Structure 1
Amino acid sequence: MPLLYGCFACTVSLDSTPHHHWRTMAPSKSLTPAAKQQLILNHLRASRTCHTLKDLEKCLPAVASINGMQVKDYIQALTDDGKLHVEKIGSGNWYWAWEGEEQKEREKVKNSLVKELEKLEKVVLELEERKTAALTEIGNSGGDEEHERETLLARKAQGEAEVMRLKVEEESYLDGGAGGGIERKGEDIKRWKVEAEMWTDNIYVLEEYLRKIAGGDRETVEAVKRECYGEEYVEGEGLRELQF
């Protein structure tokens, strides 16, 4: 609280303080609301002090090319998003935003994305192991359908190449060398989930082939699935459903 009360001492009258040192030219009126919010945040961080709503209604129209009636809405939106701090002191609210908070928020988002990537890598590795085990079991079961076996082995090679590519991408993200920022990482997480579901479908295709070469012998099929899936096998259901 002493920091906030100190704002009374460091806040100066906006009527007597020139604003030209906060900006070099008026912002374009065609800016998006998000861009205008960023201009407002930049101004408040650069000011290094606290402001009343009345102060902001005087200075922000020139800072972000908005009219005075919109100031309250923009301030409320920034407050709701947690980008702008507010505290009631006396009869009014005081607003402030400090340098460095944006970087902390980005680090928080980055750490969250890294955890998601690690989780997806584990899922992809799990699918690879299941697929390899199923193909190995099928290869040991014999049968004269060589063409179908070759097709499945080709799929296996393709899957291994895809998993290797995903691992390289994941390592690049963890090292910070993939580029593209947080938005790119978010898009890739969605794509990885789709690919994980695709390889799950491939496992189901292999199950159908197993039923075919087993001649419809349900007990044999279930025994092979139980052996391949291990702890991932659910009695009466088969392969445990993946959890993202």
Structure 2
Amino acid sequence: MSKKKGLSLEEKRSRMMEIFFETKDVFQLKDIEKIAPKTKGITPMSVKDVLQSLVDDNMVDCERLGTSNYYWAFPSKALHARKLKLDELSKQVSEAKKRQTSLQDAIEKAKEGRDDTEERSAMLKEFQALTEERAQLQTELDKYKECDPQVVEEMKKSNVVAKIAVSRWTDNVFAMKSWTKKKFAFDNSQIDRAFGIPEDFDYMD
């Protein structure tokens, strides 16, 4: 028999947020350490770290009174924190798209009638960095979409802006590939290798 797969960090975070949202109560760490393993399947050893990660992301409020720390979180607070994070990530996606578009134009100009140069190599490295940045931003967006289902439902409209920005960024990559195929008669595999584009690069679902 295969071993039961443990919860991921995001699953633990989401389940811990459910404790606060369902009870709308204030807890001490010792309370969470009792409730989380019993009702949400979060391992006792990870409770403190998961709770601290939520505090660090402003998902859970923490206040020290006397010698004890008290923790609480309400849906409105979590929604506000996620909207701020989503706005920040959407802005980064938009900026990355603009930099990538500018870089593509420069690469196309540099390739006209020229062999490989240091400038082109530098541009290709930056292009690869932007591609990796896009993947990291998408991972961040996915992380915040996977949290509390009730809050995610309220955020769907906000997510549209970020998805449109990522789709336009992806359009530019495909446009560059199309131009390169026509200009130099390269096939897709040659272009992907030259620019470091992953084989599974495609639009978001």
Q: Return the TM-score normalized by structure 1.
A: 0.39
Structure of higher CA gyration radius: 1
TM-score, normalised via structure 2 length: 0.45
